[in-house]
A and B are shown apart, each in its own frame.
Chain A
Amino acid sequence: DVKVTQSSRYLVKRTGEKVFLECVQDMDHENMFWYRQDPGLGLRLIYFSYDVKMKEKGDIPEGYSVSREKKERFSLILESASTNQTSMYLCASSRVGQGYGYTFGSGTRLTVV
C-alpha cells in the first residue's frame, strides 16, 4: 500500500525552539506539500516542492522553511516556534498532473508552549 509517513503524531515544543517535521513518501511522487489545518480555517498551504531542491511558497509561508534534499523526503522547519504555530500539520504527495489528487500522511499535531 502506498504511503506518506510523518515521523511524529504528537509533538510538544517550547517557544523559540527550532522544530523539524519530517515527511517521507514511498511512491516516487514528484510533488510534495505541507499544509496546516486549523478549526474553521480548513487546510492552508505552507510550502510545496515539485522536484528535489525546488520549493515554492504557498499561502502562509511566514515563519516556516522547507528542505527537500531527496525525492522521497520533505521537511518542514519552524525556525523559531511560536504559540500561534500550534496546529495540525499535514504532509501530502502527488504525481505530476492535476488529476491524480494527493496522498496524505496521518498528520502531526504540534503544540507550542
Chain B
Amino acid sequence: AQSVTQLDSQVPVFEEAPVELRCNYSSSVSVYLFWYVQYPNQGLQLLLKYLSGSTLVKGINGFEAEFNKSQTSFHLRKPSVHISDTAEYFCAVALSGGSNYKLTFGKGTLLTVNP
C-alpha cells in the first residue's frame, strides 16, 4: 500500500519570502501525485498534479512542485508568498493503473504567512 509523509506539520514564513512544503511518498509501483489546499472552514481545492511527463508541474496561485522519483518526493514551492496563501496544504498519492482509485493523503502542513 502507498503512504505519504509530510515532513513539517507547521511552516511559518514572512510575506514575500520563498517557501517549500515537503512531501515524501512510498509505493512499490508508479504513482500519481497531488497537492491540495484548504483555506479556513472550506473544503480542499486542487493546486496541481503530476501524472507523467515533465517532472516540474505548475499549478494555480503561483505554486509549483517537482517530482523526484529517486528521492520519492514531490515538494511544493512558491518563490514569494502572500498573506492569502495562509492555509493547510495536503499532499496525496494514487496508484497509477489498476482499479485502486483511492487517494492517500498526508497529514497536512499548515502554512502561516506573517506580515
Give the residues in chain B near A31, CB-CB below 8 Å.
101
- Evaluate contact between A90 and B44: CB separation under 8 angstroms: yes
Q: How large is the interface on B (under 10, 10 to 19, 20 to 34, 35 or more residues)?
A: 20 to 34
- Evaluate contact between A98 and B101: CB separation under 8 angstroms: yes
Cα A94 to Cα B92 with chains together (Å): 14
8 Å CB contacts to A: which residues of B11-28? none
Q: Does B46 make an interface contact (CB < 8 A)?
A: yes
- Interface size, chain A (Cβ < 8 Å): 27
Taking a contact as CB atoms closer than 8 A, the residue among A42, A94, A109 that contacts B105 in the complex is: A42
- Evaluate contact between B42 and A106: CB separation under 8 angstroms: yes
Give the residues in chain B near A98, CB-CB below 8 Å.
32, 94-97, 100-101
Cα A102 to Cα B101 with chains together (Å): 10
Taking a contact as CB atoms closer than 8 A, the residue among A4, A40, A50, A94 that contacts B9 in the complex is: A40
New A-B pairs, 20, CB < 8 Å, besides A104-B36, A106-B43: A4-B43, A31-B101, A40-B107, A42-B105, A42-B106, A42-B108, A43-B105, A50-B101, A92-B43, A96-B101, A98-B32, A98-B94, A98-B100, A98-B101, A99-B32, A99-B94, A101-B34, A101-B92, A102-B46, A107-B43
Residues on A lying within 8 angstroms of B by beta carbon are 4, 9, 31, 33, 40-43, 45, 48, 50, 58, 90, 92, 94, 96-99, 101-107, 109
